[in-house]
Structures are given as structure tokens and as C-alpha cells.
Chains A and B, each alone.
Chain A
Amino acid sequence: MQSVTRAVFPFSAIVGQDEMKLALICTAVDPTIGGVLVLGDRGTGKSTAIRALAALLPPMQAVIGCRYACDPADRDAWCAECQERHPGGTIKARSVPVPVVDLPLGVTEDRVVGALDLEKALSQGIKAFEPGLLARANRGFLYIDEVNLLEDHLVDLLIDVAASGENLVEREGLSVRHPARFVLIGSGNPEEGELRPQLLDRFGLSVEIRTPTELHERVDVIKRRDEFERDKSAFVAKWKKADVALRKRIVAGRERVETTSIPDSVLESAAKLCMQLGTDGLRAELTLMRAARALASFELAETVDVSHLRRISTLALRHRLRRDPLDESGSAVRIERAVQEALGA
């Protein structure tokens, strides 16, 4: 089941696309923000960036022998198997890379949620559960390329699991529940179909990217891509320092997230902004607040201030506006206007 190992384009070497990079970094700092949706033109390196992020992340601790890679420190989030096996006392853990699981197109439902273990069923007639991709993505990232082409019944599944953080399997005579907390990352081209609002809501941040139209930027993209393709290991080595530095900053940001404070005035501004835009529910405010905090932590600020809010607001709110499918002015413009009003110029 091991993926074919291949050199990954370094995150730091990605030219431009600052908004996408910012969103990915924020979710890496605080996974509770809840995923990133990247919509944009063809050939803008959406997949490249997401795979690069995976390579950038520091490893995590996982319970040995656990099929869901439970966190040894977080007893409450353990799966039933871990709870049973380690009712107390010490547990053994090891360092594993943060899982980044691809949800490939054409995937069948049984592979997503998990299903009857075929081998055991066929050879011994035993009913056993074989975890699926959701189990493998626990505590990591679940990446769906062309998310707008995902079949509806799979979308239904994901919507539920992404909200509850738990996968309930009731099929083929099995009844299993296991933790499935993952950061959902989706990418796609909006021209090829629209996303259901419920699925949109599961993404914490959303990014729109465009093909660079500046000549020098295009030249840079092409040159780096070319350099990478001609000698992958040399290219990766060249950017390693930058990537390691970035990883350190992400780790430092993670440690600070807990302690970075958000003054009441900033919270008020965030609430005002959301009210002005008429976003549904509290999720928008929560995400806005978390994302601003993640950004502040990443930048080693003591407290969150309005500037963080301003920079993150479009990312956090763009896909949450009461959607008028026919409004062409675009959500970004509406948000900018509201930001001006709520937060001052």
C-alpha cells in the first residue's frame, strides 16, 4: 500500500500564489481551522502546493499498532481499540509522518469508509473490519483533487465525517466507529461544476488562484519547474534550507497558538464583520478567529490585532457568504467592502 516515493517540489520554491501558501500554512499551524479549498485556473500548481505542504510538515507521535494512528497524549480522542488495549499504564508511541491521503477519483465507497476485510472473509469466513481512507487520514490531511467532480454519495459521506470527526460504518453487517479527524483539502476548477454549500462550509479557508499574467512570474515558474524536473534531488537540496526554516516557523507557531491572546476588541470587530456580511451561523466567526490567531502565532505576535483579521478575512469568509449564484462582483469584493466598513481603512 506504500505510495511510490518520489521527490516533491519544495514548498518554498513555489512562485507567487501567496494567498494559497498563507492558507495552507495557517491550517498547518492550527488544524482546527478546518481545511482549505483551492479553486482556480488550470495549471496553477494547486496539487503541487498541497503535496509540497505534506513534505514540509514535522512528524507526529502515534500509538504503535493503532490502525488510526491515535495520539498517545490525547486519551479522549482514542479509538475503541486503543481504549480497550491500554486501559491505563504506559503506551508505546512512535514518530510517523503526518498522513496526507489522496482521495482519488473513481474511488469506491468501501475504500473511503472502510469495509469488510475481503481476505479474511474469503479465506476464513471471518467478519472483520478493514479501515478505509478516512481511517488513514486521521490526524492528517485528506486531499481531494477535482473536488467538484466527486460523486454525490461520496460527498454526503465526507460532509458528515468532516463535521463530526468520527466515521460511523454501518455496512455489510459491520458496525464500527472510529476517529477520523482530518484537515480536508480540496482543489478544483470552478468551471467544471459547482460545490454543494454544505461541502463548502466544511472548508475553513478558501483560496482562488489565477494564472500568473506577469511575464517575469511566469518565467520564474517555468524555470524552477524545469530545474526541478532536470535534477530533482539537487533542486530539493537547494531549497531544503528554506523549507526547514519554514517548518521551524510552523512548529513555533503551533506552540504559540494556545497562548496567543485575542483581545475583545478584535473579537468584536470579527463579529461586526460577520454580521455585516450576513454569514450564517457561528462557524464563520470561529474560523475567522482561529485563522487570525494562527496567522498571528505564525508571525510570532503576542496578540492578534486587526491587521491579522484583515489579511485573513477574505480567505475565511469568501465561501460563506449567503450565495447569490448570479452575483458576479465576486465575494472578495463584497468582503473587502465590509472589511473597510467594519475594521476601518
Chain B
Amino acid sequence: MSAADDAALSASLLALGGADLGGVCLRSLPQPARTQWLEIVRELLPATRPMRRIPCNIPDGRLLGGLDLAATLKAHRPIAERGALASADGGIVVVAMAERLSAHTAACLNAVLDSGEVLMEREGVALHDAARIAVVALDESMGDDESVPVSLLDRFAFLVDLNGFDPRTPIGSAHEPEEIDAARVLLPQVSISDELVTALCATGLTLGAGSVRVSSFALRVARMMAALEGRTEVNAEDASVAGRLVFAPRATQLPQARAAEPAPGEESPTRAQDPGPAPPPSETSDSAEPSQLPELKAADLEDLVLAAARAAIPPGLLERLRSEAGARRGSAAAGRAGAPTRGGTRGRPAGVRSGAPRGQARLNVLETLRSAAPWQRLRGRTLQGDGRVRIEAGDFRVTQYQQRAPTLTIFAVDASGSSALNRLAEAKGAVELLLADCYVRRDQVAVITFRGTGAEVLLPPTRSLVRAKRTLAGVPGGGGTPMAAAIDSALGIAAQSRRRGETPVLVMLTDGRANVARNGAKGRETAHADALHAARRWARTQVAALFVDTSPRPSPIAAELAAAMRANYVALPFADAKSLSRVVGAATRGGR
């Protein structure tokens, strides 16, 4: 089975399973393969089922529904308008650029995927509508700083990666629409043995692939595979396919290869006591002690499913996952939680202005009525008459909202040899104290460390301060001081944060002794020149920065750098963590 075949198979299964599979994350740049994949789904989906595309920045009013103003004014009673999710009931919602989904929109999608209905309580109207949908999230993320919200991924059966597909060999549909229809009829009768259910669960556990929900998807996929083959009993092959499609792309740990697979003979008597090399499988033997035969069978089945899933794990995936050790997981999504300010359309009400309730602006009914009231007589009606108020477009008033832009504090911590010698531990301590301040202010934090040849974003913007602390605690010291790389990296994060409408603040803890240039070469001269260059770039962004000189004696080099960055320079010859925190706290407050 090639990757293209698997992609086609996932399209068939989505058309068959729909809402039961939650959806698919389709990681791909806009390319023919993606279009083909979507077309296959459309062809296989019964014509009566809708397939709707929505943008990632869809306002709540369109997503969930809201007050249909035109109809309301015409009918003189509130009329609710269904949103995109409710009108796609029974079908598929395609979310464009899903890596840009806000945590809020993702949570709305989650709620609908979980309950199969839309609960809308907005703008004076309530609407409870069925919305049995599957979501296809088009993920165009390229770097590690973006990803489809993890909570949403957990509700999808498949994660399909189409990047790297050869555009010359198109993806062909794996099934005919009639086959899908036949399978749909057969599906309710498909049964699965307990051994296979256990094997699937064990595979999910062994690969560390997602929550119980994901295992549930695997079970459903196994059933659907049997139905597609026209069988009413799931066999090992079906389970293998399910394992490959559902678990493999989510694997976070390698199955510990049971290299020396014990021969059946020597295995049976001892196994119940012996935990064995792979922890989860042994659990089966604990529960099924009396009968050895089915137990063996279960273990074999699990191996089969596991082998299939393992074969499909893309090379390098696990390496990457391990090296990132959770830094990526949830990072982008977590950082975005609650952060976006949407041009004053949410938050605390702050006055009223005249204007049409277009987009996300909310109609202020009372003010609208109030502004219409004086004109009633002129417009040929009175409040007595038939009791109806006549409202014209010019009467519309919308509420304005304001929201405090959240702050992102970026910590750039010098972990080079010179700094480590001086006071890396103190810097860490200071950052920890600052984190407590951030917690009080509900700021977001990001942590960059730099040492050796480059800077590393240890923690992308997040509100999870516990994670900030944990990552920081594990920072090793040693190596050169790649000053320029550090400033560049901070620039990147600050720019991203600004794009989200936040206020970034940089706290730099270093001795300023750059000795590694941008290109990674050693040498104080070029390194310092590069650092100054980066510092001047920083100055142009006009983002508030604080430069904490951690060298034992205040150094002119550090002061020069700070000046180039237009940062507040604080030298702390012999400060402890507490006083450092005090200074930083005062400076960042002043900078805001």
C-alpha cells in the first residue's frame, strides 16, 4: 500500500463514516493532490449530503448562527439564522487554513463534533439544531510554530499528509460510490471479536497514539473496512489497516520491538508472571490466565496490527517527536488560547456607534429602537397604530467593544559557557519569579535560550507557566554566545505576536559577549558586528525590551548592545534572583 493508496482509502472511509469518524486533518499545501482528494470525497458522498467550505476566521454568527436581521425586521419578530455548521448537517465541513483557527473557533467545532448538534444562544435568539458533521481541516502549516489545534486533531480519525506527493501520479478513488453505499447498508451488521478490540487498544497504547477517543476511531475504521470488503466480521487485515491509518500518524513512541519473540512453547507458562519486554501486551495475559489459547491469539493479533501501523510511521517522525519532547504538542494551540483580540468586537462593551451590523458588529437593539422612535410619525406610523415600529437602515446602532491587548513576555536567556559560569542559575531563578508575575497578569510567555551555534525557541508563546518553568529548568549551560541569532529569534516571535494583536515585551538576560556570528562561525569581531546589526533591527520594531547584564562587572559591550536595541539596560553586578526580578518587573511595567 502506497501513501497515495492510503490517502484514497481515507477519503473512501470518510465518505462512508462521516460524522462517526470526526474528520480528517489534511496536511498539504494547495496542490493537485489536495484537490483530487477533496473531489474523491465529494464524488463518494451521497449527493444529498452537503460539503461546505468555511474560512478559518469565520465569525461566530456565521459558524453557529445568529439573528437574521433582515428577516427579523420584515417579520417583526426575532428570526434565527442557521450557521454554517447546522446547514452542513449530515455532511462535511471543510475548514480552509485550519492551522490559523483560533482556540475559540476550534472549541466551537469540538463541541459540535462531540454532541452532533449546534447549541446557539446568541443575540436574543436560541437555536438547537442537529449538526452531524465531519470536519476536513486543510492544514497548510509549514513551520513548527503553527498547527491545527490539538484538541481538534484528537477528534479526527485520520491525519493525512499529502505533502511530497508526486503531482504527476494523481490519487485515484479506491472505491465506487455504489460500493460505499453498499458498505453503509452492511455496516450495522459488522461485528468484531473481543481479541481484535483488545489488539487495537493495545496498539494505540504501545504507540502512544492519542486518547481513548482515537482508539474508538480505530475500532470504527476496522468495522468500515470489513463492510467495504462486503464482510460482516472484522478480520485481522481490517484491524491492521485501521491501525495503520489511525494510529501510525500519531505515534509518539516506538513500539519496543519484541526482537527475540519467544516461541509459543516457552512463552505460555511464564508469561503471566513475567511482565515481558513490552508493557501493555502483558496485561492481556493477566486477565486471561485460565485459557492460554485465546491469549496467544490476542498477542499475535496485536503484533499484526502493530506491525502494520509501524510500517506506516513516516521515517524521521519519531525522531522529531522525541527531540521536541512535547514542545510542539499543544504549543501553538495553547499559546493562542484566549489571546486574539478581534478589532474590538468582543470584550467589554464600550459605547455605541451608528453603523450597520455587518460582520462581527453586534446590533444594539435598544439604541436602534431609540434612534428610530422620533421618526415614527414622519414615517407614516405611530407607536399606537398597528403597534409596529418602523426602522430604517440609518437607525442601526452597533455596540463597540474593547479588550485589553494581552502581553507576551519573551525571555531570551543566555546559556552560553561564559554566562553559565557567571549566573545562569540566578537568571533562571529570576525568570521563575517573573513567571509568577506573568501568572498574576495572565500574560503569555515565551522562552528562547541561546548557546553554542544558535538560538532555540524552547517554549513558543503559551500561558502554561508550568511548562515554561519545566523547560527552563532543563536548560543546559555551555558553549559560545550567538547573540545575533538570539535577537533574530526574538524578533521572529515578537513579529508573530504583533500579528496576533498582542503586545510583546522582551527580557534579555545575557552578558552580551557575543562570540558566535550569525553563520555559526566563531570570532568575537564578526559576532559582535552581527549582534549590533540584529540589535538595530530590533530597535526599529520599537518593541519594549529590557537588557539585563549578567556579567560580574558591567561591561561596555553589553551597554553598547542595549543602546543599539534601544533597550533599558540594567547591570546587575551582584544581584540575587529576587532583586533581579524586582528590576525587571519595574522595567516591564514601565515599558507597557
Contacts and interface: CB of A to CB of B under 8 A. Distances in A.
A122 B72 contact: yes
A222 interface: yes
Contacts of B194: 219, 223
A215 B76 contact: no
B124 A115 contact: yes
Interface in A87-145: 102-112, 115-116, 118-119, 121-125, 130, 132-133, 145
Interface stretch (B36-44, B168-176, B204-212, B314-322): B204-212
A47 B334 CA distance: 21
A193 B338 contact: yes
A42 interface: yes
A90 B464 CA distance: 56
A211 interface: yes
Given A124-B387, A153-B347, A218-B204, A111 B126 contact: yes
A42 B151 CA distance: 7
B284 A102 contact: no
Contacts of A2: 128
Interface bracket on B: 35 or more
Given A43-B212, A215-B283, A123 B151 contact: no
B219 A222 contact: yes
Interface string A1-24: 111101000000000000000000
A7 to B, nearest CB: 12
Contacts of A44: 211-212
Nearest to B384: A125
Contact of A106 (B63, B213, B349): B63
B465 A326 contact: yes
Contact of A172 (B20, B281, B366): B366
A319 to B, nearest CB: 15
Q: Is the interface of B mostly helix, strand, loop or mixed?
A: helix
Contact of B212 (A111, A118, A153, A218): A218
Contact of A121 (B210, B369, B465): B369
Interface string A135-169: 00000000001101101110000000000000000
B498 interface: no
A74 interface: no
B583 interface: no
A116 B365 contact: yes
B528 interface: no
Contacts of A211: 211-212
B271 interface: no
Given A125-B383, A149-B103, A189-B151, A104 B119 contact: yes
13 contacts: A118-B124, A119-B78, A121-B389, A123-B76, A125-B387, A132-B121, A145-B107, A146-B111, A193-B463, A194-B463, A212-B212, A219-B194, A326-B469
Interface of B: 20, 60, 63-64, 67, 72-73, 76-78, 103-104, 107-108, 110-111, 114-117, 119-126, 128-130, 150-151, 154, 188, 194, 197-198, 200-202, 204-205, 210-216, 219-220, 280-281, 283-284, 287, 330, 333-334, 337-338, 346-349, 362, 365-366, 369, 383, 387-389, 403, 432, 435-436, 439, 442, 463-466, 469-470
